[in-house]
């Protein structure tokens, strides 16, 4: 399947078939896709938690608002977190990045209030959400990005010390009767010439 065809077929899954499981090999490929995600100055201020344990998913479902069944019936929930402890991040970049990148952070970002720094982290994490959704589409895996969750409670459930949950993505395979799939609810997007300019 071409990338464009995969994007045409992907959609936000509303109902999962809990009997269908993702091949462990594909889970490992998704993990590697996330590891390879882009970020400004290669900062990588993130952590990705794959939750397939049913008891943990049940706990998460109770703090997932209208997404309860997506959490319980999908194969896996991927929790996207950004680093919240700046000392952890600063230790990481000193260890992992070239000095030039560390200098950029120290000169341009570190002087800012923490709220501005973590807002910048958030943007990097959202890049990786797009990577996961695209990888799932190419691999024929269905996905549901979910901001309708309680991040602080997610943190408690998964033991997210030093990090803060931003968003979660349920992954698995659709129920054949899912009302939101393109065959039942055709994809609607604004026309190309309305959203893309060429200069």
pLDDT at 44: 99
Q: Which is nearest to 124 in space by CA: 65, 185, 83, 172? A: 83
Tell which residue, 26, 36, 37, 29, has the closest CA to residue 75: 26
Query: Spelled out in words, what is the top-level CATH class assigned to the domain 3-195?
Result: alpha beta
pLDDT band with cut points at 50, 70 and 90 for residue 1? confident
Q: Could you read off the pLDDT of 82-92 as tens digits, one per residue? A: 999 999 999 99
* Domain ranges (residues) in the chain: 3-195
Quote the mean pLDDT of the chain: 98
pTM of the shown model: 0.97
CA 95 – CA 92 distance, rounded (Å): 5
Tens digit of each residue's pLDDT (9 = 90 or more) over 37-75: 999 999 999 999 999 999 999 999 999 999 999 999 999
Residue 145 confidence (pLDDT) above 90: yes
**Once rounded to an integer, what is the mean pLDDT over residues 106-112?**
98
Token look-up 């977190």 returns 81
Instruction: Tell me what pLDDT residue 121 has.
Output: 99
Q: Is 31 exposed, middle or buried (0-12, 13-18, 19+ CB in 10 A)?
A: middle
**pLDDT one-digit tens code per residue, 6-26:** 999 999 999 999 999 999 999
Find the mean pLDDT for residues 131-149: 99
Which residue is associated with the tokens 């078939």? 17
Does residue 75 sit in helix, strand or coil?
Answer: coil
In the structure, what pLDDT confidence band is assigned to residue 184 with cuts at 50, 70 and 90?
very high
pLDDT value of residue 100: 97
Residues 6+ apart with CB under 8 A from 88: 162
């Amino acid at each position: 399947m071409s990338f464009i065809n995969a994007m045409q077929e992907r959609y936000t899954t509303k109902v999962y078939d809990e009997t269908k499981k993702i091949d462990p090999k594909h889970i490992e490929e998704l993990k590697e896709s996330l590891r390879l995600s882009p970020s400004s100055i290669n900062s990588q201020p993130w952590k990705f938690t794959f939750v397939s344990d049913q008891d943990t998913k049940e706990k998460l479902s109770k703090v997932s608002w209208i997404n309860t069944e997506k959490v319980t019936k999908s194969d896996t929930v991927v929790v996207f977190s950004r680093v919240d402890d700046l000392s952890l991040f600063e230790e990481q970049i000193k260890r992992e990045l070239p000095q030039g990148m560390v200098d950029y952070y120290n000169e341009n970002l570190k002087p800012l209030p923490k709220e501005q720094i973590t807002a910048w982290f958030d943007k990097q994490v959202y890049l990786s959400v797009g990577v996961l959704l695209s990888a799932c589409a190419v691999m024929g895996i269905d996905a549901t990005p979910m901001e309708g969750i309680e991040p602080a409670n997610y943190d408690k459930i998964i033991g997210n010390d030093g990090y803060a949950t931003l968003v979660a993505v349920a992954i698995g395979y659709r129920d054949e009767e899912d009302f939101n799939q393109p065959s039942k609810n055709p994809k609607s997007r604004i026309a190309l010439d309305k959203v893309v300019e060429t200069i």
